[in-house]
Structure 1
Amino acid sequence: MSEAEWLSRGVVVRRLLEVDQGQESVSALHVRVMAEAAGVTPRTVWRWLSEARAGRLDPVARPGGFTLNDQQWNRLAQMGGNVAALHRQMTKDDSLENVPSLGTLHRTVRRDLRAGRPLESAGASRARVEPERYDRVLAELKLQRPGEGVPVVDAEPAQPAAAVPDENGSQPATRSGVRLFVPGARVVSTGPVAAVVEVVGHTAAARGIGCVFGEPGVGKTVAVQQALHLLPSRAPVWRPVVGVKPGLPQMRASLLDACGLPAASLAHRAQAADRALTEALRQPGVVFLDDAQRLSPPLLDYLRLLWDEPGTAAALVLCGAGAERVIARAPALRSRVLTWHQVTGVEPDRLSETLAMFHDVWEGTQPADVEWADATVARGNFRTWAKITSHLYALTKRSQHPGADRSLLEQACARLGPYL
């Protein structure tokens, strides 16, 4: 049984059973789409479904199959879960008889992991790098000062060019694609942003997979975009746009379009499109996929298959509120995520300072008034603070008020709707 079958069978079967038990019956189109997502033939999917209807959801292991002993299992953990490296070592070991094939070893490891056998591995084997090389790459990416080992964020805030209204008077977005709601606003390099910069830099240097998650509005996308902005210009960043409940053709077309490939002619030619994407991802760079919580497990498994290609040199950064829960339902991809990072809200002890750097309207505001607004309305959510800033800016301009006092702040907060 192939790798795709072992890793995708459970997802495929359960999805088809949900359709089969609902108001619709499983059609040939259902099977064809799931077969394409799993990388197998429709005939194989029909067989899976037939066995599942008979009560067998998972493949049946052959009796008397190969088993790794504790010493070999611990050696696999020390190798970071690299099954191929373990197989090479076992092949060179003259004391071992009947060394299994690499495919059999892969199946054995997957079977034991499914059964709950813990593998104390630091991460996906493809993401392992030597410490000296990792430090050197971080320095090249301008994420670490040589000899200090400390991540660095631009001391100056991002240029507020995106905060200047366009010719129609509308407020454009920042380079991150997130609107700041008010002219003159700046992207602030806070502690949480610095942490995301380090995570993204690590992922890019290791050419691995990272997940950035957190509550809506805490600044995940802005922080990741700031980190991507600090990467060298020679490192391309691809930003596929994910729709609501996308299918595999839409996902493939989005990736093709982001990589500058002819999506219109390749999107419905699965093999040709996958070959083109595989070739494009051989170039070192970063694929940034925002709103990853919209992706279904088959689509996440499709990403896993792309990144499992031996020549893949690009990193993958998944971001979104609830992205960690969605990825958890795709165990094959979850096991390959190098770094998980949760973005928290604005630091309470630096809130007044952060707002003053974010926009000049906050200069001179009493910290007690800021604390009141945070406890009453914002609750550490920076998107809410951006909205408050927008209303406060309009109020100060309209009333010619020199600063933001408590009365204006209360009016600005009242415009955000009822808060209990």
Structure 2
Amino acid sequence: MGAGAGAPVGVRHEAGGVRCFGAAGPFPHTSALADAAVAGALGEARVLVVDEAQRLPVPCLEYLQSLWDDPGTRITLVLCGSGSERALARLPQLASRVGGWQEVPRLAAAEVAAVVTGFHPLWRTVAAPDLTWIDQSCAHGTFRMWAALTAHLQNALLTTADAAVDRALLRRLFRRVVPPL
């Protein structure tokens, strides 16, 4: 959906209050002014990515549609998440604006090493057989799982003086990212 890409835009919390990237001054606390600030920040060509879109209630989807329909915004709207098509089915007027659907399948075993080493340099320090073991033991070709493992591994290496990327550490991290059955 949309018209191009630009610099990131979003909302962040900081000491002086909430700020909208791309907007001057603090983020407004009234809905009309907040809507205007968001629309103004989306006046440049931007990509608005919404992860876990399948969890959005109809009012949130309606708000995204209003941003899309606003003649002052120039956004490409990317809705991500397994089941997003079912969420859009609850709002046919937004679903009718979809320019294309893309399914991202699991990584094939032969793709894992190239993809994860390209994703983050940390994985370049891990031998290919260990990457295969990680994928078979935990990630199962799911990029989201690799991203979670990356974050946990980075944290472990930064917070533990003598931490090394070995199978013992990786097994502990697996328990953090895989729900207990």
**In the alignment, structure 1 residue 376 sits paired with structure 2 residue 137:** yes
Structure 1: runs of 5 or more not aligned: 1-126, 128-202, 206-230, 242-253
1:260 aligns with 2:20: no
Identity percentage over the alignment?
24
Deviations 1:211-247 (A, max 9, x none): xxxxxxxxxxxxxxxxxxxx5xxx3432247xxxxxx
Among candidates 9, 19, 34, match of residue 238 of structure 1: 9
Question: Is the CA contact 2:9–2:42 (under 8 Å) kept in the aligned structure 1?
Answer: no
Distance 2:156 2:41 in 1: 45
Equivalences, count? 166
Any conservation in 1 of the 2:3–2:45 contact (CA below 8 Å)?
yes
Query: Larger relative CO (CA 8 A, sep 6+): 1 or 2?
Result: 2
Picking from 150, 170, 176, the partner of 1:412 is 170
Partner SS for 1:237 = coil
Within 2, Cα distance between the matches of 1:298 and 1:355? 37
Considering fraction of residues, name the structure with more strand. Answer: 2
**What does 1:110-259 correspond to in 2, within 5 Å?**
203-205=2-4, 235-240=6-11, 257-258=20-21
Aligned mates of 1:297, 1:384 — CA distance in 2: 29
1:283 maps onto 2:43 in alignment: yes
- State the SS of the aligned residue for 2:127: coil
Per the alignment, do residues 312 and 348 of structure 1 end up closer, same or farther by CA in structure 2, a change over 3 Å counting?
farther
Residue 333 of structure 1 and its aligned partner are, at CA, apart by 0.7
Using the TM superposition, give the Cα deviation of residue 330 of structure 1 relative to its aligned residue in structure 2, in angstroms. Answer: 1.1
TM-score of the superposed pair, with normalisation by structure 1: 0.32
* Secondary structure at 2:137 match in 1: helix
> Of 319, 335, 340, which aligns to 2:101?
340
| Matching residue of 1:12 | none
Residues 339 and 259 from structure 1, CA distance in 2 versus in 1: closer, same or farther, beyond 3 angstroms?
farther
State the match for 1:180 in structure 2: none
C-alpha distance in 1 between matches for 2:114 and 2:47: 33
Alpha-carbon distance, 1:386 to partner: 1.2
Asked if structure 2 preserves the Cα contact closer than 8 Å seen for 1:346 and 1:382, the reply is no
Give the structure 2 partner of residue 386 of structure 1. Answer: 150
C-alpha displacement of 1:259: 5.2
Structure 1 residues 378 and 286: CA distance shift in structure 2, 3 A: same
User: Contact conserved, 2:3 with 2:74, CA < 8 A, in 1?
Assistant: yes
Q: Which runs of 5+ in 2 are unaligned?
A: 13-17
2: CA distance, partners of 1:306 / 1:391:
37
Q: What amino acid is aligned across from residue 239 of structure 1 in structure 2?
A: G
Aligned to 1:169: none
Q: Residue 188 of structure 1 corresponds to which residue in structure 2?
A: none
Q: 1:360 to 1:299 in 2, by over 3 A?
A: closer
The corresponding residue for 2:162 is 398
The answer as to whether partners of 2:11 and 2:21 remain within 8 angstroms in 1 is yes
Partner of 1:337: helix, strand, or coil?
coil
Q: TM-score, normalised by structure 2?
A: 0.62
Pick closer, same or farther for the CA change 1:257–1:355 going to 2, 3 Å.
closer
Larger Rg: 1
- The one-letter amino acid of 1:317's match is L
**2:15 alignment partner in structure 1:** none
Mapping of residues 50-129 of structure 1, within 5 Å: none
What amino acid is the match of 1:359?
P
